[in-house]
Each structure stands twice: as C-alpha cells, then as structure tokens.
Amino acid sequence: MSVSAPHGDVPTPAGGAPAPPAGAGPQVIVVLTDQQRWDTTGAHGNRAGVTPEFDRIAREGTLFEQAITPNPVCAPARSSLQTGRYPTSTGVFRNGLPLPQDIPTLAGAFAGAGYATGYIGKWHLAGEDGPDGPVPPGRRGGYETWLASDRLEFTSDAYRTVVHDEAGEPVRLPGYRSDALIDAAIRFVADHHDRPYLLFLSLLEPHHQNPTDDYPAPAGYRERYEGAWLPPDLAALAPGAPQGGAHRHLAGYLGQIKRVDEGVGRLRDALRSLGTEENTVLAWTADHGSHFRTRNSEYKRSAHEASVRVPLALTGPGFTGGGLVREPVGTVDLMPTLLAVAGIDVPDGVQGRSLLPLTGGGSDPGRTGSAFVQISEDRVGRAVRTSRWKYAVEAPGADAWNEPDADRYTETELYDLAADPYELDNLAGLDSHRAVADELRQELLVWLARIEDAEPEIRRAARRPAGQRRAESFPEEVPWEGVRFGHSPGR
C-alpha cells in the first residue's frame, strides 16, 4: 500500500501560476457530500453556523433554494449526477447495480472536448459483483485520473482513508477523511492548473459510519454542536426513532459538515493562489438527505424533504452574481448545466435541463415548475414536488428491491409546504384537499409519461373527513374514481 504526500504538500509552479490558455473553457469542480440535508446550511436558515463557506458560495454565486434529488438512495442519485438521466433510465434504480458503459456520461463528454478528468472519493456505481474498493477501468464513468473506492464507507473510517488508484492499488491518505480527500483534490488542481479540467470530489461525510452506526466527527467537533438546534421534523419525531435518532447523532453529523466546509474553503484558497478561481465553476451539492430514522427504519428512502431536498450552490463563470433561484429544480439538471457552461454539446438521452437560464432572475419556459422523485428499496414510490406541495404515491405489494416501477400506485402523502415545511401534517385523503391532490396526480402522470413512458393507475387515498390529519399515514387502497381537473394549485 502506498502512502500519499504529507498533508498540505502541494507543488507550486515556479514564477507564479499561469492561467489556462486564452479561449479555453472553464475549469469545473463538483463537490458532492453524502447524506447532507438542505437545512444544515446557514443559507437555508440553520442556526448552528457550520457552513460559512457554502453560504459564501451561495451569496457570491447562485443558490438553488429548492434542489431535489431524483432518488434518495446513493447509487441511483449518483447515476443521475453522472448522466443527467433519472435512475430508471440509467438502469441504476437501487444500490448494487453498475452504471452501464454505453450511456454517455459527464466525464465522457468533458474528455471528448479535450478536458482532463479526475474522480476522487466515493463512487458507488461499480455494482454489487465487485469489491468495495477498486473499480475496474470500464466502470469508472469515463474518468481518467482516479483515486476512489466504490464504497468508501467500507474501505475507510474517520482517520484511516483507503482509496484506489488507476491501477486498482490501495492508497492510504493521511489525515481526517474529508481533509485527506480534499488534500488530494488540491494536488489535482495544482497539477492541472494550466489546462481545462473536470474534477469530481465525492466525500463520504456526513454519512454515518456503517459498522458503528455513528457520525465520527473530527476530534473536538462533535462537542461544539451538542444541544444544537433541531429542525422541527427531528424535534417532533426523533424521540420515537430507533437508537435515539437525531438526538444521539446530530452533533457528530454537524461536526462532520463543519470540517467539510473548512476543507472546501482550503480548496478555494488553492484556486486563488493558482490564479484560477475566476475561471473555475464550483458546484456543491449532495446525493440525498437524512431523516435520521424518523420516517422509516433507516435514514432516507422516503419522499420527505429530509430525504430528497439537498443543498445546491454554484459559483464561477455563469453563476457568480446569479442570485437566488426559488423554483424547484432537480440535481439531475447538474450534468447538462456543467456541459452548457463549458460550451459542450449535451448528449442525446439526457433528461435534465440546464440551470443556466434560471440564473440572474431568468426563466426557462420549458420547465414545469415541479420536480420528480423516484423512490426505491424501501418501497416502489413516486413523488412530485412543487414550490408549495408535495404529493407521493406508493405501489402496494411491490418488490422494492427488484422492481424499478409499477403499473398501479396509491396516494400516500400530501403536504402543504407553505404551511407545513417540515411535513408533520399529512393531508392525503382529506376532503378539503381532494382537488389539490387530483391536480398533483395529473402533474405526476405527466412526469411518468415523459420520464418512464408509463401510464400507471393512481388510486386515491382512503377518504378522511376534515380534521383527521396525521403526520405519518399510508392510507389503505381504495378504487380510484374518475375526477374532473380544475385550476392548477399554487406552486
């Protein structure tokens, strides 16, 4: 096993750092965190103060306030980030399935345009037939420089980070895990500062450490956030969650995010020192969030905001000064966005849309005003999320591990996000909200037809008189009756 250069040992070009050649496209960095809720950031109102660097990116660049993952599971979400397609279109609708080699990818498109491409960290797209660590070259999504493990949570812990290089050999990186990976990212940008590159930095934090079911923050960081503010959903639901839920884990979770935020600040400092910051597009997002076992038996795999809503901010060419975008967008849109800002053609089959038209107060008439979510593993479900409403359905009796979709669903959840942003009051089945649910049902059917080429039956939730609201409900299946659709609900 080889050992990397010491912490901070980064080569510096003699006589200053020349910028990339005139006319070259922007350099591009994606920072991906794992299992980070949107409301961990100050830009989204968190009071713990753990993300000053993310908040600076959001303030100086563009913050997409309502960013939604296409699937709140690691591999499906990551397949969408690499391809711009929804998980059922990539074939990676659950964990353990490899990213097909015949689908155009983010790295492939950038490499075809003359970019250097590099991947560092967690991959989770090699498939369950391979080991946790090394990823065969044909399953790396087209990335050239490689320093990663397929399932980093099983080849590392907080202070023992083992990844694998292009030859599949293990490499141990010194330091706390997120620091070690960010140090490797700094070495990459230093080595490639004089040419266009795409770097995808995929961190494990703030994901739990699977064998111990804990959130190992750096020494001293957990203590900073003991007793920190709890988001309302966790405050209301965590006391009944298994093993203490958020009350046990939130301090470590926030401590991990704080250290990641500091590391991204060091990465941006490196860009400044190399003279490339103004020509670098930097995007920060997450694969999915975490509800800390308050909605099902584990951490995600539900349609709730805690699972599907993630931070998304970009800065650099095309995004500096872009302001706040309030319209719901999907992280499936990131791949075509990065290609668009680099002037690279978007491959056929991409289902996401570039976010560039929305920056600086702009609009995109081709957008629907909603985001679409596919749920797998825990259940076969679908959801549509507008600015105001969340509407979710589930396939009764479906084999959630082996079936990517279904031909029959039943309504399970309806939330008014304007009145109930943390989804504690399920309105599904209420007579008072029947018209709203019917309109959202139609919206979901449009998404299903476009993305999955499907026309499933969606049955109404069991009828409930007004006043019988509940935080968690999975209404029994009842025959669906035809309805007439009126005006569209507010979004």
pLDDT score, position 4: 47
On average, the pLDDT of the chain sits at 90
Interval 50-76: pLDDT, tens: 999 999 999 999 999 999 999 999 999
Asked if omega into 206 is within 30° of 0 (cis), the reply is yes
- Computed on alpha carbons and rounded to an integer, the radius of gyration of the chain in Å comes to 22
Pick one of 3.40.50.300, 3.40.50.1370, 3.40.720.10, 3.40.50.720 as the CATH number of 22-361: 3.40.720.10
Interval 14-33: pLDDT, tens: 334 455 555 679 999 999 99
Asked whether 140 and 100 are in contact (CB, 8 A), the reply is no
Kindly tell me if the per-residue pLDDT of 488 is higher than 60. no
Closest Cα partner for 341 from 352, 356, 353, 323? 356
List, in order, residues 6 or more apart from 117 with CB less than 8 Å away: 107, 110, 111, 142, 143, 144, 145, 197, 198, 199, 200
Asked whether 325 and 369 are in contact (CB, 8 A), the reply is no
Please tell me the distance from the alpha carbon of residue 373 to that of residue 73, in angstroms, as a whole number: 11
pLDDT score, position 244: 54
Q: Say if strands 280-286 and 312-315 run parallel, antiparallel, or are unpaired.
A: antiparallel
Interval 397-435: pLDDT, tens: 999 999 999 999 999 999 999 999 999 999 999 999 999
**AA letter at 89:** S
Mean pLDDT, range 479-486, rounded to an integer: 34
Lowest mean pLDDT among 157-161, 211-215, 249-253, 296-300: 296-300
Q: In the chain, what percentage of residues exceed pLDDT 90?
A: 79
Half-sphere exposure of 72 (CA within 13 A, CB side): 32
**3-to-153, 170, 191 alpha-carbon distances in Å:** 19, 9, 18
pLDDT band at residue 291 using 50, 70 and 90 as cut-offs: confident
Kindly tell me if the per-residue pLDDT of 179 is higher than 50. yes
Please tell me the distance from the alpha carbon of residue 57 to that of residue 29, in angstroms, as a whole number: 13
| Domain boundaries 379-459, corresponding CATH code | 3.30.1120.10
Tell me the whole-structure pTM to 2 decimals.
0.91
DSSP 8-state code for residue 169: -
pLDDT band at residue 300 using 50, 70 and 90 as cut-offs: confident
Kindly tell me if the per-residue pLDDT of 377 is higher than 60. yes
Lowest mean pLDDT among 6-15, 77-86, 221-230, 231-240: 6-15
Instruction: Please list the residue range(s) of the chain that carry CATH number 3.40.720.10.
Output: 22-361
Kindly tell me if the per-residue pLDDT of 8 is higher than 80. no
pLDDT score, position 157: 94
Instruction: Please list the residue range(s) of the chain that carry CATH number 3.30.1120.10.
Output: 379-459
Mean pLDDT, range 4-22, rounded to an integer: 45
Please tell me the distance from the alpha carbon of residue 287 to that of residue 360, in angstroms, as a whole number: 25
